A and B are shown apart, each in its own frame.
Chain A
Amino acid sequence: MKLLEQLCLAYGPSGAEGCVREQIKNEIAPYADEISVDALGNLIAHKKGSGKKIMLAAHMDEIGLMVTYIDDKGFLRFAQVGWLPPVFTINRQVRFENGVKGVVAYEKEMEKELKQAKLFIDIGAKSREEAESMVKVGDCAVMVSEFTEMNDRVTCKAMDNRAGCYALIKAAQEINSSNDIYYVFTTQEEIGLRGAKTAAFAIEPDLALSVDTTMTGDTPESDKMAVTLGGGVAIKVMDGSIITNSYLRKRMIELAQGIPYQLEVLIDGGTDGGTIHTSRGGVMTGGISIPTRYIHSITETVDKNDLKNAITLIKRFCEEV
């Protein structure tokens, strides 16, 4: 779990994934023949083989807060990077890439409908000048949280999708296949699946698999959804961005024999598969999801067994599909 902890705590909001990319690069390097970074910042690790060209994608980016304005007193206004409702940020600690820390607060008494424009970040600066010496407009912060194990579960910020990155790295360590495999750690998934789009174009895979987190429907009064935490690795059927390839889905169900799995239909949201499967002349694309509670909050929670099963299924996919 040490690696997962390091990945979750790493800094990497959409569009500023440099730190987390460096960390992943070090982890994946021993299992790749070639590593490159493209114009959008995707990390592409290529393990050469004579078989099918398989693209495995997990996004590195996390949701964040981008500074849009610094006022006379040194308070920062910010925009959401990705889907981040005000209620998830209020009174949270945040951290910038350069180490500057801050807290998020709301203008005055909280209304029933919280407005993003009334939120601000306090970084302890006493004037505009002081604040400007610490951060610039356009800099991004991420929320701060601890990595905590609770029984069989672990909780932290950025589990979406460092859990997916972790699964991909762990699978890479175990995969023994003659297929031509591209491990792609993508950027800007949270703001429109953008990194995966250009990576898929460059790679032109025969088959693709996106590895990401998904929601669950098993908490008190939660929206109805058939995925449960600890219910096994989820094989994606559909989300807002893709209906997965039916052949691959069938094949993945066969490959999942002997390990707990569940089928996932996510009403909203999307994954990298959304832009991969419509790349060029079309790509057969499937999805493996790690069930996650409280998505986009600092308490994103996954189950260790689901994670283990996801790694097994990715490995089998690469070796036997």
Chain B
Amino acid sequence: MLETLSNLNGVSGSEDEVRSFILSKIKADEVTVDVMGNIIAFRKGLKSHKKMMVCAHMDEVGFIISEITDKGFLKFKSVGGIDERVLISKHVTVGPDKLPGVIAVKAVHLQEKEEREKPVEEKDLAIDIGAESKEQAQKLVKIGDYAAFDTSYSLFGDRFMKGKALDDRIGCACLLKLLERNYDFDFYGVFSVCEEIGGTGAKVAAQNIRPDLALVLEGTTCSDVYKTEPHQQVTRLGDGVCIPIRDRSMVANRELVDALIACAEKNKIKWQYKHTTAGGTDGGAIHASGAGVKCAVLAVPTRYIHSPVGVASVDDYEAFLLLTEKFMEEVGGLI
């Protein structure tokens, strides 16, 4: 499931492929797609009608085509936060027909000394789709088409996985699993759009649902490689599911954080703190919606996040699935 999800394309604002797949797999009492494109899957409560919202975002970072050059290259703008320096010579697919392309940059031997010494910028890059002229490219691509990284999911090493959109198809896979059953309370599973460009999807979904409690399922940064001081390592791969306390967008509800930690301890599930406060999630929009929502986040550490390939640990992912499942069994008491 995660493999299929990660390989699908769904750059923010163009989540159609991911949405169609999820809609074909989802099990719920009622499934709707709202005006933003969020999927809202509802499972009626067995005992109460208090509302719990669990949210995972369908979108991934990528590109939008902004110009077709005279020679048939595609200029682009990044969608979501991407380090421009990781883009050179990467494979991408363009548009709904997944036209193969390569991100081009001036060959090193043609670069002036000054160009070689400064980091490459987005404006210096273009996508090569093998077109020989502007006219030929225009037949294949329109301005406004999206491009996504072209990386296949695979397992490697000692229980590691790599893929282009682990952030946040990991959350989508988990949410699909949670939706297989009913709970004591009303359960709203939200597969949101546009998290990477500001959480606009989750904002609207939360306003419509008006949940009493919310949980956000995410991929989070992991910086345990190279020379990073221990205190600046956000999370560490293999150290378990991450329970963040605060990021740029939200202070997680303390009661929920404590309950999540207690649940992990009780079930002997490996968990870790997030050691920095950078980044944001859909929780930012959800917790400040309506009259306020108690909200927390669970996340899987992902190395090289927002690049052509993210790396996560199968063990962390399994800890994430297990903690989510266990927590859902007892969260009814907190709503």
Tell which of B20-28, B102-110, B188-196, B291-299 binds the partner. Answer: B291-299
Count, chain B residues at interface, CB 8 A: 22
Contact in complex: A137, B251 (CB < 8 Å)? no
Q: With A40-B292, A138-B273, A198-B288 in contact, do A66 and B245 touch (Cβ < 8 Å)? A: yes
Contact in complex: A71, B273 (CB < 8 Å)? no
Query: Within 8 Å of chain B (Cβ to Cβ): is A277?
Result: no
Contact in complex: A15, B246 (CB < 8 Å)? yes
Query: Within 8 Å of chain A (Cβ to Cβ): is B276?
Result: yes
Contact in complex: B277, A79 (CB < 8 Å)? yes
Q: How large is the interface on A (under 10, 10 to 19, 20 to 34, 35 or more residues)?
A: 20 to 34
Distance between B258 CB and nearest chain A CB, rounded to angstroms: 10
Contact in complex: B277, A68 (CB < 8 Å)? yes
Residues of A within 8 A of B245 (CB): 66, 137-138
Q: With A15-B246, A42-B292 in contact, do A138 and B287 touch (Cβ < 8 Å)? A: no
Residues of B within 8 A of A137 (CB): 245, 273, 275
The CA-CA distance from A138 to B261 in the complex, in Å, is: 12
Distance between B163 CB and nearest chain A CB, rounded to angstroms: 28
Contact in complex: B276, A188 (CB < 8 Å)? no
The CA-CA distance from A208 to B294 in the complex, in Å, is: 25
Minimum CB distance partner of B293 in chain A: A39
Of the candidates A39, A42, A77, the one whose C-beta lies within 8 Å of that of B253 is A39
Question: Could you tell me which residues of chain A, from 58 to 81, have a CB within 8 Å of some CB in chain B?
Answer: 66, 68-69, 71, 77, 79, 81
Of the candidates B275, B277, B291, the one whose C-beta lies within 8 Å of that of A39 is B291
> Which of B230, B251, B254, B277 has the most chain A CB within a 10 Å cutoff?
B251
Interface of B is mostly: loop
Contact in complex: A69, B230 (CB < 8 Å)? yes
Residues of A within 8 A of B290 (CB): 198, 201-202
Residues of A within 8 A of B273 (CB): 68, 137-138
Of the candidates B230, B231, B246, B291, the one whose C-beta lies within 8 Å of that of A138 is B246
Residues of B within 8 A of A197 (CB): 288
Query: Within 8 Å of chain B (Cβ to Cβ): is A16?
Result: yes
Distance between B283 CB and nearest chain A CB, rounded to angstroms: 12
Contact in complex: B231, A77 (CB < 8 Å)? yes
Contact in complex: B231, A69 (CB < 8 Å)? yes
Contact in complex: A191, B294 (CB < 8 Å)? no
Query: Within 8 Å of chain A (Cβ to Cβ): is B232?
Result: yes
The CA-CA distance from A148 to B246 in the complex, in Å, is: 33
Contact in complex: B251, A14 (CB < 8 Å)? yes
Contact in complex: A39, B294 (CB < 8 Å)? yes
Minimum CB distance partner of A80 in chain B: B277
Query: Within 8 Å of chain A (Cβ to Cβ): is B229?
Result: yes
Residues of B within 8 A of A40 (CB): 287-288, 292
Minimum CB distance partner of A42 in chain B: B292
The CA-CA distance from A39 to B293 in the complex, in Å, is: 6
Query: Within 8 Å of chain A (Cβ to Cβ): is B120?
Result: no
Contact in complex: B257, A117 (CB < 8 Å)? no
Residues of B within 8 A of A68 (CB): 231, 273, 275-277
Contact in complex: A194, B230 (CB < 8 Å)? no
Question: Could you tell me which residues of chain B, from 138 to 193, have a CB within 8 Å of some CB in chain A?
Answer: none
Q: Would you mind naming 26 contact pairs between A and B with Cβ atoms under 8 Å apart?
A: A15-B254, A16-B254, A38-B291, A39-B292, A39-B293, A39-B294, A40-B287, A40-B288, A66-B245, A66-B246, A66-B277, A68-B231, A68-B275, A68-B276, A69-B230, A71-B231, A79-B276, A79-B277, A81-B246, A117-B229, A138-B245, A194-B287, A198-B291, A198-B292, A199-B291, A202-B291
- Residues of B that sit less than 8 Å from A by CB: 229-232, 245-246, 251, 253-254, 257, 273, 275-277, 287-294
Q: What 10 pairs between A and B have smallest CB-CB spacing?
A: A198-B292, A15-B251, A138-B245, A202-B291, A69-B231, A39-B292, A77-B231, A40-B292, A79-B277, A137-B273
- Residues of A that sit less than 8 Å from B by CB: 14-16, 38-40, 42, 66, 68-69, 71, 77, 79, 81, 117, 137-138, 188, 191, 194-195, 197-199, 201-202
